[in-house]
């Protein structure tokens, strides 16, 4: 397949729910590559977006989105059906409710890493819950205090924004990288940092390529789930949207 680049519209506006596009390629596995897309591809523990495409009175359901070759984003149909031909102009519609829940959970997990300032060994984002695995030799003394602190940060209505840093600058600030298993991509230019709060009220700053809400109050109430033993010093902390 000819190497093409998909413009990631979600990087410019994470709240886009629909957008026009042109089909530029098909993959051997039956996926579709558009010239630009609002669909976030699976990565960083966050599931790929789902939704639909519409053209010439026809509709195609999209089950998920994944990263393709280079800078391609591949949309995966929900069923093996005839695809819109290369060159066709269409409209893409995001399953917004599902994406927005991913945004809420993802941002909440950043806050969880603030409340539990420990090295992160893994994580997963879902539409109703998420989890982080921590290097945590001992369980928290008071799980309800952790939950309360998490919701206090949500209620502060802190702004969530982004900034960019060079690889060299990141090398001088290793404390920004909280995850032990997933490292920021190298060789692609500046690295995106997600910031929660501003100035003296900033509570978190870390590399992340996922989608997040604009303010912490948008997350809504949170409930701490099970804290599971995943090894001698590893604990899995589950968190749920209410």
pLDDT for residue 1: 44
Verdict on whether the full-model pTM lies above 0.85 = yes
Report d(CA 242, CA 231) in Å as an integer. Answer: 29
Report d(CA 49, CA 102) in Å as an integer. Answer: 9
Kindly state the percentage of the chain with pLDDT values over 70: 97
Report d(CA 77, CA 241) in Å as an integer. Answer: 28
CATH 3.30.980.10 intervals, the chain: 99-241
CATH 2.40.30.130 intervals, the chain: 7-94
Q: Which CATH architecture has domain 7-94?
A: Beta Barrel (2.40)
Q: Return the half-sphere exposure (C-beta side, CA atoms, 13 A cut-off) of residue 53.
A: 33
CATH code: domain 99-241 is: 3.30.980.10
Confidence grade of residue 145 (pLDDT, cut at 50, 70, 90) = very high
Name, in order, each residue with C-beta under 8 angstroms of 112's C-beta and a sequence gap of 6 or more.
132, 150, 237, 239
149-193 pLDDT, tens digit each: 999 999 999 999 999 999 999 999 988 988 876 677 777 789 999
- As a whole number, the mean pLDDT across the chain is 94
Please spell the DSSP secondary structure of 24-52, one letter per residue. EEE-TTS-EEESEESPPPSBTTBPPP-EE
Residue 206: C-alpha distances to residues 90, 178, 192 (Å):
36, 7, 8
Average pLDDT, integer, range 145-152: 97
């Amino acid at each position: 397949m000819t190497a093409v680049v998909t413009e990631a519209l979600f990087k410019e506006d994470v709240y886009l729910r629909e957008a026009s596009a042109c089909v530029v390629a098909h993959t051997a596995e039956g996926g579709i590559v558009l010239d630009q897309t609002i669909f976030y591809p699976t990565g960083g523990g966050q599931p790929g977006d789902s939704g639909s495409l519409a053209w010439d009175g026809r509709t195609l359901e999209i089950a998920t989105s994944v990263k393709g070759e280079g800078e391609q984003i591949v949309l995966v149909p929900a069923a093996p059906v005839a695809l819109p031909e290369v060159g066709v102009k269409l409209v893409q519609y995001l399953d917004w409710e599902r994406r927005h829940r991913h945004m809420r959970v993802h941002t909440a997990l950043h806050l969880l890493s603030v409340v539990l300032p420990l090295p992160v060994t893994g994580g997963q984002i879902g539409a109703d819950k998420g989890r982080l695995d921590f290097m945590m030799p001992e369980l928290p003394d008071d799980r309800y205090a952790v939950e309360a602190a998490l919701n206090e940060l949500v209620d502060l209505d802190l702004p969530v924004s982004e900034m960019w840093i060079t690889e060299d600058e990141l090398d001088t600030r290793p404390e920004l990288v909280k995850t032990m298993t997933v490292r920021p991509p190298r060789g692609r230019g500046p690295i995106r940092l997600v910031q929660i709060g501003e100035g003296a009220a900033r509570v978190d700053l870390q590399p992340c390529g996922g989608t997040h809400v604009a303010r912490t109050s948008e997350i809504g109430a949170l409930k701490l789930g099970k804290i599971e033993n995943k090894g001698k010093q590893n604990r899995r902390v589950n968190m749920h949207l209410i």
